[in-house]
A and B are shown apart, each in its own frame.
Chain A
Amino acid sequence: MFINWALQEINLKIVYYGPGMSGKTTNLEYIHSKLDPSLAGELVSLKTKEDRTIFFDFMQIEVGRIKGKKPKFNLYTVPGQVYYASSRKVILNGVDGIVFVADSQPHRMEANIETLLDLENNLKQDGHSLEAFPWVIQFNKRDLPGVETLETLQKKLNFFSVPYFEGVAVRGDGVFNTLKAVINKVVQNVQNQL
């Protein structure tokens, strides 16, 4: 978090984390498509030719002034493929809140768990703990046939009982609720420390 007292600006960094193809970029694309252009900046995607995120996507959103203060939210995604482990670590630098986008399909369960452990490990190296860190889970792709039940997903992935949301990011289901929840968690976290 960066606070610029002179301009009364509060900058937060939110990172969308999760396994490859779970819908992290889709979340950002949906947010970008729905927000008024005066509130959402350009969506920058560093992608391969095959449309896979190679480094990150980035977008800044604003909500106007609140009590004279101007909060700005910097949203990032990480590349999901196992191969880009160090890139994921780099993007987490200075992170304030995390959205873990999980894939609800049974054959992606292992990838979900592996990525969650990778996240925990990266946070640890930076002196954070996943238990105390502000984060939320989005169980994405709920519209696909044969997905895991919510109970199973909760049991296998949400071991710290963080807020969770069912999502169909391509349609926008759950996208804004997830973002709102993570922002709330970050603000709560700051207040709890005062």
Chain B
Amino acid sequence: MVRTKKLKDGSRQIILNGKQYEGVTKTLSELASKTKASAILFADMSGQLISQRGNTENMNTTVLSALAASDFAATAEMAKLVGEEAKFKLLFHEGEKRNVYLSNVGDYFFLVVVFDVNVTLGLIRIYTKKAIQSLLEILEEGGEEEGEKDMIDSDFSSLLGDALDETFK
């Protein structure tokens, strides 16, 4: 299972290990080649981009993830207001040249698929559903224990302080 940790103040930490990241990236590559989607993003519900595939050079995927996460969160609130007890599972934005298909992957992650209008929605739906299934399996699998302990030690925080001073000069 992907490690999520609740801190004392209630904030949430999600840690993805190396094996899981590899698995996620592989699944996205497969989805990209099967659907001919222009771009595929995998991100966490707070809007942080985790992995991307496809033709994303001219796309600001960091911003796209942040917007997509807010899109999700906003529709979850909408769901409540209209009396839908579960969250909406997927969102679809239809354009003239490109469409965007968003679907949640468990409670903490989501997938964004950007595709040209000449690709049928049915195809995207089928393969995305399969990809979500394998992503969930990958995230379920445990991995070697890697903690944030080595990631954020006291040395790190003092060096971060120096780096911030340098950046914000």
Residues of A within 8 A of B (CB): 1-8, 10-11, 13, 34-36, 39, 41-42, 44, 55-56, 58, 60-61, 63-64, 66-67, 69, 71-72, 74, 76, 86-87, 89-91, 93-96, 123, 126-129, 132-134, 176, 179-180, 183-184, 187-194
Contacts and interface: CB of A to CB of B under 8 A. Distances in A.
Contacts, number: 159
Interface stretch (B14-22, B89-97, B121-129, B134-142): B14-22
A3 B13 contact: yes
Contacts of A72: 48
Shortest beta-carbon contacts, A-B, top 5: A94-B46, A128-B10, A6-B21, A132-B9, A176-B168
28 contacts: A1-B12, A2-B13, A2-B16, A3-B13, A7-B21, A8-B151, A39-B167, A58-B63, A63-B163, A63-B166, A67-B156, A67-B159, A87-B74, A90-B76, A93-B73, A128-B10, A133-B9, A179-B164, A180-B161, A180-B164, A180-B168, A183-B160, A189-B7, A190-B13, A191-B153, A192-B8, A193-B8, A194-B148
Interface string B99-113: 000000000000000
Contacts of B50: 2, 4
Interface of B: 6-18, 21-22, 44-48, 50, 60, 62-63, 66-67, 69-70, 73-74, 76-77, 146, 148-149, 151-157, 159-161, 163-168
Contacts of A126: 10
B168 A190 contact: no
A64 B163 contact: yes
Contacts of A180: 161, 164-165, 168
Contacts of B151: 3, 5, 8, 10, 69
B9 A66 contact: no
A184 B28 CA distance: 35
A44 B12 contact: no
Contact of B44 (A2, A189, A192): A2
B60 A11 contact: no
B46 A44 contact: no
Nearest to B51: A4
A13 B62 CA distance: 13
A96 B11 contact: yes
B45 A90 contact: no
A95 B157 contact: no
Residue among A1, A2, A44 facing the most chain B CB atoms (10 A cut-off): A2
Contacts of A193: 7-8
Contact of B63 (A4, A11, A41, A61): A41
Nearest to A132: B9
